[in-house]
Amino acid sequence: MIIITEINDLKKIYKRRVPKMFYDYAETGSWTGQTFIENSSDFKKIRLRQRVAVDIENKTTESTMIGRKVRMPVALAPVGLTGMQHANGEILAAKAAETFGVPYTLSTMSVCSIEDVAQNTETPFWFQLYVMRDEDFIKNLISRAKAAECEALLLTLDLQILGQRHKDLKNGLSTPPKLTLPVLVDLLTKWRWGIKMLKTNRRSFGNIVGHAKNVNDVSSLQDWTAKQFDPRLNWETVKKYRKQWDGKFVLKGILDADDARKALDVGADAIIVSNHGGRQLDGALSSIRSLPQIIDAVGNKIEVHIDGGIRSGQDVLKALALGAVGTYIGRAYTYGLGALGQQGVESALEIIHKELETTMALCGEKSVTNLTKNNLLIPKDFFNNYV
């Protein structure tokens, strides 16, 4: 029995319980995995300034993200196929976020549909949109998100074309999995997962099947998604979708100061500094290294959020101290979900919260909103050694 005290404990249980195909899908980056690895390892290079004899009673991690009050500025990032990591995964993750007091973001590529998540939760969630060629389908998705009272639309900009992830090709990733011999052998040891999956009818892409033209079954869906991501996406398209959404609008996947400046013209409420968790352009800089140049360029004009590599409350603190107003976790909560369902996601959030609160206190700060670069010790060449 593992006593759960850190995110890595959840990851160990997750690895034992979830089919290899879906574990590999989450725990991978594109090509060599350099950006995926550095997203996390770069956080470790930044050190913390210990301060003493500061009154730290009544400390708080509360803050806001695009106007929403949060128990800590850590939202759940959109993660496709969450419902394959655990039966009804999106609903369980959304409930965990609701219980804990942070926003949940539902992916376009989710298993549970927008309506499903809305019916099973009370707090408005956020919806992530991929731009696809089928404009009617996108319009309809936006209307469905409005009808479900989603509070924010996050438009993902870094996936006009899919980065290659070797493991997915080698494993023949599919939803639900095709029952080949290696998959069947693997499933024998993942019986908990299998029993729960048999008890739910949510086993396909809930936002797409039955809503997109000519997609009624799963086999045609594989072809459809491969062809659907729209390579023509440009800033005019972004402006067009901004106009169709009257709630909060967030641009996800910005890694360059020039793009951050362009994002200002769109009228977005926030941008997310992100490289899709190292799953798209391998060799891109880690999110944390990219953050300061973007804060310098637009930090006083728009709310800047960040994701990528966050596995602890200390990582969250470092991102906030460098100027991010909010952060997101993707894999850190997916580990919890695959390990223990809703309780596992709550556990991931509690772990990160405790680490954030304790670290903040030992740095001599009482509120996450007061954190600055002053709380950090940053190697001299950390940000400026690339030209």
Ligand X SMILES: Cc1cc2nc3c(=O)[nH]c(=O)nc-3n(C[C@H](O)[C@H](O)[C@H](O)COP(=O)(O)O)c2cc1C
CA distance to 50, 319, 321, per residue, from 368 (Å) = 16, 11, 8
Nearest partner of 72 among 317, 269, 323, 273, judged by Cα: 317
**Member of 26, 46, 66, 212 binding ligand X (CB under 6 A):** 26
| Comparison of 13 and 111: residue with beta carbon closer to ligand X | 111
Smallest separation (angstroms) from ligand X to the CB of 259: 16
Choose one: 48-56, 73-81, 239-247, 356-364; the region binding ligand X (CB under 6 A): 73-81
Active site residues: 276
Smallest separation (angstroms) from ligand X to the CB of 10: 13
The reply to whether 141 sits near ligand X by the rule CB under 6 A is no
CA atoms lying within 13 Å on the CB side of residue 227 = 9
The reply to whether 89 sits near ligand X by the rule CB under 6 A is no
275 and 179 in contact (C-beta within 8 Å)? Answer: no
What distance in Å separates the CA atoms of residue 36 and residue 48, rounded to the nearest whole number? 23
The reply to whether 109 sits near ligand X by the rule CB under 6 A is yes
The reply to whether 25 sits near ligand X by the rule CB under 6 A is yes
| Comparison of 25 and 193: residue with beta carbon closer to ligand X | 25
| Comparison of 278 and 292: residue with beta carbon closer to ligand X | 278
The reply to whether 375 sits near ligand X by the rule CB under 6 A is no
Sequence-ordered list of residues with C-beta below 8 angstroms from that of 331, at least 6 positions apart, any chain: 26, 27, 277, 311
| Comparison of 37 and 362: residue with beta carbon closer to ligand X | 37
Strands 63-65 and 47-48: unpaired
- Measured from each CB, the residue nearest to ligand X is 330
The reply to whether 79 sits near ligand X by the rule CB under 6 A is yes
Smallest separation (angstroms) from ligand X to the CB of 324: 13
| Comparison of 128 and 228: residue with beta carbon closer to ligand X | 128
Nearest partner of 25 among 341, 342, 330, 328, judged by Cα: 330
| Contact flags string 156-175 toward ligand X, x per CB under 6 A | x-------------------
CA 106 to chain centre: 9
Smallest separation (angstroms) from ligand X to the CB of 274: 5
> How many angstroms separate the most distant Cα atoms in the chain?
66
Please report where in the chains the tokens 């977005």 appear, as a residue. 268
| Contact flags string 323-342 toward ligand X, x per CB under 6 A | ------xxxx----------
Residues 166-225 that bind ligand X (CB under 6 A): none
Smallest separation (angstroms) from ligand X to the CB of 380: 26
**Member of 128, 290, 312, 314 binding ligand X (CB under 6 A):** 128
What distance in Å separates the CA atoms of residue 177 and residue 171, rounded to the nearest whole number? 10
By the 10 Å C-beta count (0-12 exposed, 13-18 middle, 19+ buried), 226 is classed as: exposed
Smallest separation (angstroms) from ligand X to the CB of 79: 4
**Member of 35, 39, 225, 228 binding ligand X (CB under 6 A):** 39
| Comparison of 117 and 365: residue with beta carbon closer to ligand X | 117
- Residue 375 gets which letter from DSSP? G
Q: Hey, how many other C-beta atoms are within 10 angstroms of the C-beta on 103?
A: 23
DSSP tally for the chain: helices H, then strands E: 16, 12
Measured torsion, CA atoms of residues 173, 10, 316, 43, in degrees rounded to the nearest 10: -70
| Comparison of 68 and 331: residue with beta carbon closer to ligand X | 331
Smallest separation (angstroms) from ligand X to the CB of 228: 13
Residues 259-278 that bind ligand X (CB under 6 A): 274, 276-277
User: What DSSP string describes 59-100?
Assistant: -B--EEETTEEESSSEEEPP-TTHHHHSTTHHHHHHHHHHHH
Size of the site for ligand X (CB under 6 A): 24
Residues 283-312 that bind ligand X (CB under 6 A): 307-310
What distance in Å separates the CA atoms of residue 174 and residue 83, rounded to the nearest whole number? 13
Q: Which residues bind ligand X (CB under 6 A)?
A: 25-26, 39, 77-80, 107, 109, 128, 156, 252, 274, 276-277, 279, 307-310, 329-332
